[in-house]
Structure 1
């Protein structure tokens, strides 16, 4: 990903969403050639010269001071995630081309913890939104990650390339928007990751929805909230999700789902866990029988 182009397009997209009245500036009327604030208006709000801001918006972010970035971020009304993205684009301290290619694994003890969370669907997302660890109930809820080829074991690939995702998430558009925002934040951290570039290229080529959302330059970080799912086995589920960044590896994030205790969704989740346990037992029995037959 070209950092100068990304910086330029990101700043223009954030400026375009603001109107003079949004930031306390008078609007003297008249049609604007492009939507949003003019560059000179943004520069005035940020406390820099118009020429300096124009150069920054052209992608020349090298040697820009933190104070200037703070002024621009405040003027653009950036969210916390958007601020982080801006700082990464101008001061790419996370550039790790060799590190970005290293294998992603969770610690064995952490995988054991996932496996012990019988009633909680849980999985771990790494760089590029790769799904790198999961428990049995996560597979029963979202999809069997273990049977997928590695390139499809990715949340962005699943949302935009697997038709089942459109059936699973009631608000598919909201889920897709979040995923693209997460992926763009990741791209700002690892601009030299060839696998990330290949993923973005494939999705851009094969998904019109991805192209549309990627062009918006929205940036988001993982958080918490509610998801409405429609599962093919247990029907509608209202689940709370939480994300926890792992201190030992901040590139890894644990996501969990849970239902309100005593709710219909809690009962449905319990039934799904029971079904998943039965499936696992039958699979283990069949595997043992096959080994015995071979022996």
Structure 2
């Protein structure tokens, strides 16, 4: 006969996780005075509650698996009180609410050497890392030769939207520019909302609306698109028309970053791109 105990109370993975992280903390490192007779490992419940600005009763209910699911705001406070890192914070939200936390956008000045090595592992395929605001912060040799040599550009000019919407010469290299422009704006809007980067992108949006009539019209249309794969068709000045299939991937632990990889779409495109890469290598 059912005993009325909910599955959450029986399992209580949230409570176990909270207790585990609470007992691992060093009170003195957090500025909490401890007496010689203190027997509690880590922090006491009331100390966590105080740091999280919630009641001791409510925090106790969380650890006991009672009181219903917490709000995202409460979990965020508890995560801060327990000094959780990004992975632990995500885990807390997954077991507490069944979903990851809202993304907290943070600007990035570059990528790790390991991530750069991943880009460099694609000798024939342009591969790049971009932020939610579409600033390119990492790329490989194929990107430099086939798409854009970002290394010769100052950082403020490495923005995909700024380059395409404000440079008519680059627009002329795109096949079906009007359709591409609509896709770019819709995908950009989806990216900044997903990454919580609307405030960070406001300056860029204002600039583009002021300088590009087309961008202003498309931005007011409020189209939202999320397409992680497709085909890019480019009129390359050295090898002519080339088609590349692309896929985008989220960077683990950094949902505000995405990696785009472009592959030659046909055997003819492979030949054209190989010829370009070989020519750029020079003799020998």
Give the TM-score taking structure 1 as reference length. Answer: 0.57
126-135 or 268-277, which moves further after superposition?
Answer: 268-277
Taking the aligned partners of 1:192 and 1:139, their CA distance within structure 2 comes to 27
Partner of 1:186: 191
How far does residue 234 in structure 1 lie from its aligned partner after superposition?
A: 0.3
Q: Which has the higher contact order (CA 8 A, sep 6+)?
A: 1
Maintained 8 Å contact 2:132/2:258 = no
Question: Radius of gyration: which is bigger?
Answer: 2
- In structure 1, runs of 5+ residues without a counterpart are 1-92, 282-295
Q: Distance in 2 between matches of 1:190 and 1:161?
A: 25
Tell me which residue corresponds to 1:44: none
Q: Corresponding residue for 1:117?
A: 122
The superposition leaves residues 42-83 of structure 1 with CA deviations (integer Å, 9 ceiling, x where unpaired) of xxxxxxxxxxxxxxxxxxxxxxxxxxxxxxxxxxxxxxxxxx
Q: 1:275 aligns with which of 253, 259, 279?
A: 279
Alignment counterpart, residue 154 of structure 1, candidates 155, 159, 178? 159
Instruction: Tell me the alpha carbon deviations over residues 138-167 of structure 1, each in whole angstroms, 9 at most, x when there is no partner.
Output: 111111111112121111112101223212
Distance 1:108 1:192, change over 3 A: closer
Specify every segment of 5 or more residues in structure 2 that has no aligned partner in the other structure, as ranges.
Answer: 1-100
How big is the alpha-carbon RMSD for the aligned residues of Structure 1 and Structure 2? 2.4
Residue 234 of structure 2 corresponds to 229
- Paired with 1:189 and 1:223, the residues of 2 have a C-alpha distance of 14
Give the TM-score taking structure 2 as reference length: 0.59
Taking a change above 3 Å as real, the CA distance of residues 103 and 239 of structure 1, as seen in their structure-2 partners, is: closer
Q: How far off is 1:194 after superposition?
A: 5.0
Distance in 2 (alpha carbons) for counterparts of 1:149 and 1:114: 21
Could you give the per-residue CA deviations for residues 87-144 of structure 1, whole angstroms, max 9, x where no partner exists? Answer: xxxxxx6474xx43x3243221110221232111111111201111000111111111
Q: Any idea what the Cα deviations from partners look like across 1:154-209, whole Å, max 9, x if unmatched?
A: 11112101223212211212221121112212342466655411100110000001
Per the alignment, residue 250 of structure 2 pairs with: 245
Q: What's the secondary structure of 1:243's corresponding residue? A: strand
In 2, Cα distance between the equivalents of 1:128 and 1:278? 36
Q: Hey, what's the Cα distance between the residues in 2 that align with 1:243 and 1:273? A: 23
